[in-house]
Structure 1
């Protein structure tokens, strides 16, 4: 090898090292807003993030607590770049409709069919009243997830439907308590609350914890008029908690009619097309691992995930769905 050749080789190696160092420095840092700590969304987002980072070492994702109502605002404000979303809330945020006071700019989607959730209304096993009778009671002691979550917003709407409110409950000797799922389980076991008003994908963690807790409990149905109102007014879905989903919480057997939510992954339009393309492609190609994260993720279907989105599909996600043959 000549001196000139060695010089060229050295230059090439030097440039390679520099290029490698530059590539390592170009890590994309993203914050992904999930749900309440201990809930199904937090578990799901953590698992999906790990898959993305494993296959894409230059993408670093930080998972933070959030909620269906608040996550669009976190993206709009530049706090988070990704967030789990609820279909009807994402649409309302983009349009600036209630519960939002302004249109949220830059909301796009990586697709839906992620963790559809059913509302779980958990009461003492000896409770004989309907949900309507319970929520109309000004002395009700009910617990739900933190403020700015879809569960908390839905509880507000349900109370209002029965001419009640958090303020009336407080004045009537009752309580509306907001907390993490772990806190709500403890409050229920200690008789501080008599109702848990939450949502999660069957089987959801909070229900399983209550089922194995100190206090006998059961799930009850949502009244048909309330479900009709939430669907017609705000766009909620309708479904059931299937019979046999929980061994102890369904003593009467049979399906339990409840309001439902459809989840999607929100991503701000400022995230590059290449990054969103690679994240979407990675998740689609590794969907056989989803069952190890959370059972409900096995319902994810890339053939329909891109359809009927409440906000525009991100160009990077569209590229992935098309390249893999799921979108024409």
Structure 2
């Protein structure tokens, strides 16, 4: 072989070697939730664990929402995303609120961040949540349209024959924004109701507690919880007594609320070995979860892979099996 031919072919061979290497860098975007919310904090913490133990994997955390994240994954905008169980199932099937099936969705497992809905009102508010959601003059703030909170507010208003448009026509308002924007609007008396969701203790509730306006949590009516559960697959639970210092009185006890179960969604286009490495890393570093966010301390690897709303990713399944969580 001539020296000239060797010089010409060497770059080609090197490129082929790099392409086949299992250590080639993976650049992933992980879409989370609203900035300042529990999902954003959780995803940031989990991605840092993954990158610390896998230098070949680079993850960029971006804002997102439970409703929009499956579509971002399907469109190739993000490769990973936090998801809500009932929304992920609807996305895969192309059911409301999705126009067509989202076929690239797989799961790395659940139980990462169960979330409770928080309805926060002025401490002197005398109306029930049923009365507030029925009132065309209500002033309500919730997360942006890409989020499960905004979708759930729409469904809750509809249950009481109300809507954001009807509220606007009736003299009230429904605004959307980040948690910090909503908290500021509440403190400045621009809205009377904060409608959000997050893992207890969630950021928006803690921000309100440190503000100048006294506030409290409202319970979900049983009829509304039953409707959201039977029609859309939401969970039913409560915010335990004493979860918040000033939003709950000593005599109020647990606050019944609608709940969500979070899953980590990952695109079918992410290599199986990459999903395996990420899942295995998280499973091997569970002791640090509680330091990221309190609710992560309750992560249950024995249950995390079960009853997923979309198929469990083969790479994730391999990690659960290898570490003894699956038979």
Is the TM value for this pair above 0.5? Answer: yes
Q: Is the 8 A contact 1:30 1:60 kept in 2?
A: yes
Equivalents in 1 of 2:240, 2:91: separation in Å? 31
Q: Is the 8 A contact 1:24 1:58 kept in 2?
A: no
Partner of 1:113: 111
Query: 1:235-314, aligned counterparts within 5 Å?
Result: 235-251=233-249, 252-314=251-313
Match of 2:179 among 178, 181, 191: 181
Partner of 2:316: 317
Tell me how many residue pairs correspond in the alignment.
313
Equivalents in 1 of 2:76, 2:323: separation in Å? 31
1:91-122: per-residue Cα shift (whole Å, max 9, x none)? Answer: 00000001111111111000000110000000
Secondary structure at 1:32 match in 2: strand
Query: 1:8-157, aligned counterparts within 5 Å?
Result: 26-157=24-155
Give the superposition deviation at 1:299: 1.2
Secondary structure at 1:304 match in 2: helix
Secondary structure at 1:318 match in 2: helix
Q: Is the 8 A contact 1:244 1:253 kept in 2?
A: no
Equivalents in 2 of 1:171, 1:303: separation in Å? 50
Q: Which structure 2 residue ranges, 5 or more long, are not aligned?
A: 1-12
Give the superposition deviation at 1:19: 7.2
Equivalents in 2 of 1:19, 1:84: separation in Å? 34
Partner of 2:192: 194
Secondary structure at 1:239 match in 2: strand
Distance 1:190 1:68, change over 3 A: same
Q: Which structure 1 residue ranges, 5 or more long, are not aligned?
A: 1-14
Give the superposition deviation at 1:21: 11
Secondary structure at 2:258 match in 1: strand
Equivalents in 1 of 2:87, 2:112: separation in Å? 15
1:283-314: per-residue Cα shift (whole Å, max 9, x none)? Answer: 00001001110000011111110000010000
Equivalents in 1 of 2:73, 2:178: separation in Å? 22
Query: Under a length normalisation based on structure 1, what TM-score does the superposition of the two structures give?
Result: 0.93
Query: 1:165-180, aligned counterparts within 5 Å?
Result: 165-180=163-178
Distance 1:273 1:22, change over 3 A: closer
Equivalents in 2 of 1:213, 1:42: separation in Å? 22
Q: Is the 8 A contact 1:34 1:66 kept in 2?
A: yes
Secondary structure at 1:270 match in 2: coil
Query: Under a length normalisation based on structure 2, what TM-score does the superposition of the two structures give?
Result: 0.93
Give the superposition deviation at 1:66: 0.4
Equivalents in 2 of 1:274, 1:22: separation in Å? 13
